[in-house]
Structure 1
Amino acid sequence: MKNWLLHILVNAIAIIIVSFVFSSVEIEGFIGALIAALILSILNAIVRPILVILTLPITVLTLGLFLLVVNAITLAMTDALLGSTFEIAGFGMTIIAALVISLLNLVLNSFIKD
C-alpha cells in the first residue's frame, strides 16, 4: 500500500512536469495532479489490461508501438473523468503527454528503492 501511494505521488509529479513543459496540458494545482494520478492508476489497473488484450493483434503488427495509443486512451479517459481539473488539447497531444509521462515515471521510479 505504501509503495502504491509512493508511485501515485511520482505519477503526480510527472503530470505536473508535463503540464509545465506543454501549454496544451493544464492541471489545477498539486491536488488536481494527485487526483489525476490516482484515477490514472485505477484506469491502468482495470481498463488498460482489457485494452491490451483487445488490441493485441495490432500491437503485435506494430511491434508494440500501439501500446502508446493504449496509454494515450487511458490518459484521455482520465481527462474525460476529471473535466476542467485536468485537460489535454487534442489526441495527438495526449499521445505525446502519455509518452513523456511514461518516460518520466520510468526515470523517477528508478530512484525509488523497493
Structure 2
Amino acid sequence: MTSDSLLAAYLSPFGIVAETHWQARAPRTSDIYFAKGQRMNFLIRWLVTAVAVGAAIWIVPGITIVSASSWAGIAVFALVLSLINISIKPIMQILSLPISVLTLGIFYLVVNTLMLYLAAWLANGIFSIGIIISSFGAAFVASIVISIVSGIVNSLVEND
C-alpha cells in the first residue's frame, strides 16, 4: 500500500475524501452561484438593517433623519451601518471581550451604540445624508431597537 492509499483508507470512515494531487480547473457554476449568494446575503443584510433603522427612527424620539427623502437617508445610513457591522464591529467585540465577560455581555450594547455613532458620523460626513443622534441614551435605545427588529426580520427572512 502506498502512503496515498493509507491516507485515503484512514480518512474514509470519517467521510473525508483525501485528494493527493491538485489540478488547475475552470470555475464551476457552483463557484459562481456562491459568489452571487454572498452578494445576495449582503443585500438582504442591508435591507434588514434598513427596516430596523426605520423602526428605530420611528420609535426612538432622539433620532432624526438628515436628507430630503427619508428613505434615502435610511438606505444610506443602513448601508454604512451594514459595512461597519461587517468590518469594524467584530474587531471591537474582540477588543471589548474582557469587559463583556465581566458585565456578562451587557457591554456589547455599548459596542452597538458606538457603532451606531460611527455610522452616523460617517454617513453625515461622506454623503451628507443619514441620521442625527441627540444623546447617548437615544443611541443606546436605538441600538437595542435595531438589534431586536433585526433579529425578528432575520428570522422571517431566513430560508434555511
Q: TM class, shorter-chain normalised?
A: over 0.9
1:41-92, Cα deviation, whole Å (9 max, x unpaired): 1111111111111111100000111000001000000111122631111111
1:7-52, Cα deviation, whole Å (9 max, x unpaired): 2111111111111112211124111111111111111111111111
Matched, 1:9 2:47: yes
Name the residue aligned to 1:91.
136
Matched, 1:68 2:81: no
TM-score (norm: length of structure 2): 0.67
Identity percentage over the alignment?
36
Give distance in 1, aligned partners of 2:86 and 2:45: 13
**Between Structure 1 and Structure 2, whose CA radius of gyration is higher?**
2
Q: Does the 8 Å CA contact 2:55/2:145 hold for their aligned counterparts?
A: no
Q: Which has the higher contact order (CA 8 A, sep 6+)?
A: 1
Unaligned runs of 5+ in 1: none
Letter in 2 for 1:37: A
Equivalent residues, number: 114
| Regions of 4+ moved over 3 Å | none
Give distance in 1, aligned partners of 2:117 and 2:53: 13
Unaligned runs of 5+ in 2: 1-38
Higher helix share: 1
TM-score (norm: length of structure 1): 0.92
Name the residue aligned to 2:91.
50
